[in-house]
Chains A and B, each alone.
Chain A
Amino acid sequence: MADVVVVAGPALTIPVRRHRMTGSELAKRVALYVVLVVGAALMVFPFVWTIITSISPEASLTVSPSLIPTDPSLSGYAELFANTPFAVVVANSLGLAVVTTVIQLFTGSTAAYAFSRLQFRGRTVVFGIYLATMMIPLQVLIVPLFSELKVFGLLDSYVGVLLPSLASAFGIFLLRQAINQVPRELDEAATLDGAGHFRIFWTIILPNIRPALATLVVFAFMGSWNNFLWPLIVLSSPQLQTLPIALANLQGQYTTQWDVVMAGSVISILPMLALYIFAQKYIIQGVASSGIK
């Protein structure tokens, strides 16, 4: 026994390439992975259920969903496209989301630049009022907003849908915080080189706040993509209908074909998923390239 101890002694002092885990470390690691796996399963399960329901023609929402579809079929998808103008609806929603996102990026970044870099009277007060608008839920404003659009003759039009979301207080807040992080020394150096506000904004500020811009893209796109109440109220022509409304329309007064509803839901998830994967890459890139601190 003693020999073993002597031999083992110096061996421990030699730096080892591979760190050998002790029992308690291993236990911790196993526990961590168990928690992560359980967490991931909980998060992924609703999506798996959605997909399985979408390919189960006699689908239901019982308490114990079967993870193996007994009789898989794409009839839900076929019915979706046969009975509703689903392709048109997806195109409508995509168009609205892209336009909303582009406009919000423009209004958000320029307003944030002004709130961060320009000195003017009442700057904090105006910014405070802007932030306060985030606290008022849309539901409260629906009827007055609707009446306003009626006077402008913009009901049942995309301009009417877009108008209230041209600028988002949250977006301005998010980008202002990001711009505040960009050192003013950069602006000053650019000013000395003869750059004006627009040049500074375009070549100094924007490249340095890419992560925040990517975040705003995801939020603005998602906000428009999922927007339900306002388009429901404003739009009435079937050819202008957006995706969330078309999805809700799949449910009847008394009965609902869940496979068709879930087929629509699966399709509605795809663009968001694609955008997220795309934006995630930029977020990491943005973080890596924001050089000076």
Chain B
Amino acid sequence: MQHKKWMAAAAVAAAGALALAGCSSSAPPKASAPVTITYTNFISAGGNEANLTTIVKAFEKANPNITVKVDTVPYTNYDTKLQTDLAAGTASDVFDIDGVGNYLNYQANGQLAQITGADASLYSAALLDSYQTGDKQYGLPTSFSAVILYYNKALFDAAGVSYPSSSWTWSDEMAAAKKISDPAKGVFGLYQPVTYNEFYKVLVQNGGSFLNQAGTKVAFNNAKGVAAANWLVQKSGTVMPTVAQGQGTPNDDTNLFLAGKLGMDITGTWEIGAFAKAVSPWDIAVEPGNTKQASATFSNAVGIAVTSKHKDAAEKWAEYLSSSKEEVNVRISKGWELPTIANKTQLAQYLKEGAPDNRQAVFDAAKSIAQSPVLGSNGNQIQDIMTNELVEAQAGRSTVAQALAAAASQINALLGQ
């Protein structure tokens, strides 16, 4: 028994060696030879599995020689699995990339193959550029989401406040929030998380920036930073619930909004589908800035492993998954995240999908992006420090200036590494 197992292992090893030898000596397989490529993803986890299957089926129909084997991995553990696969050289031909930060890491580690055949004109230029290094494309953006302002029309009407417009600034936003808030009825005016993600964005809205030009030191420990942090921490207990009332717990803001007890909610486009069940009529607007308008956007992409043996087929699938007509249709009609294409006619379909009326705000938000700072290998730790210090200031345990100074010294030490 034992003997047989070892023989089997030896046979497997020998077959592997033969396969390797075959690859290095013979010509690449003909285009007509059927191939199976693997695709590891997290984008479909949590409810979009069937939507991804629709796209895969359409691709296989259009490319009868290519079979796509899909592996869906939980989002929170995606990186662990991918890193193990990359280390062992068993990564899928095509795999998801969670945003620009991860793209930069994989690219720097030489784990991504250059993509040469994709038609650049199909994509939104800003998004495509995010996944380029030195004029070479190493990833194709598959989807994007923007953070926007959701508002409850009924609460605005009841308070006699006019709806948010693109000319609004923080002061208009706060004035409306104060008029709408009615703590006795559990009604709040404006919900904005007190987190690193909000902070780097409101810094840009206030003419500041999280890092200096070179990206070597923080640039928020100044008057612009204090004003931006103040904007975040002042809401709790007046126009937003306190921590004791649930602020910061999952779905706290969305539940308030669904129940018609929140005037304005600053959150991502991924809530559009969920808010269809809200009790009051609502619409969306571009998030107001202070000295300038800036919105946060998040994107996902796919890359091709350098170890892939079927790069041509992999590239076809990567392009199909990120820009084909079928993909765009599925994404728009199923309310999945937005496609990254440039074609205005196809995108116009999104504007006609019904409520909310002002869907144009999503595209307007993407015109002025507060870029996510490149934090390097200590990124997660830096984000935690920033969020913690902001929460300290919100709780009154430190002043805003003290919190920013403390965050600055800790983060500068981590950036140098």
Contacts and interface: CB of A to CB of B under 8 A. Distances in A.
Contacts of B325: none
B274 A236 contact: no
Interface in B1-41: 9, 12-13, 16, 38, 40
B74 A248 contact: yes
A23 interface: no
B72 A254 contact: no
Interface residues of B, number: 49
A134 interface: no
Given A58-B258, A254-B270, A255-B270, A153 B49 contact: no
B80 A232 contact: yes
B255 A62 contact: yes
Given A146-B88, A238-B71, A252-B75, A62 B246 contact: yes
Interface residues of A, number: 36
A61 B249 contact: yes
A194 B367 CA distance: 89
Contact of A232 (B12, B45, B81, B254): B81
A181 interface: no
Contact of A147 (B38, B48, B69, B88): B88
A155 interface: yes
B75 A253 contact: yes
A147 B12 CA distance: 14
A238 B16 CA distance: 24
Interface string B368-390: 00000000000000000000000
Contacts of A151: 9, 12-13
Given A62-B246, A150-B88, A250-B46, 6 more contacts: A146-B84, A152-B12, A251-B45, A252-B48, A255-B274, A258-B251
Interface of A: 58, 60-64, 83-84, 142-143, 146-147, 150-153, 155, 228-229, 232-233, 236-238, 245, 248-258
7 contacts: A58-B277, A62-B246, A143-B84, A151-B9, A152-B9, A252-B46, A253-B42
Interface of B: 9, 12-13, 16, 38, 40, 42-43, 45-50, 69-77, 80-81, 84, 87-90, 92, 98, 145, 244-246, 249-252, 254-255, 258, 268, 270-271, 274, 277, 300
Please provide the 7 A-B residue pairs with the shortest distance between their CB atoms, ordered closest to farther.
A252-B46, A248-B74, A153-B12, A60-B251, A254-B270, A236-B71, A63-B246
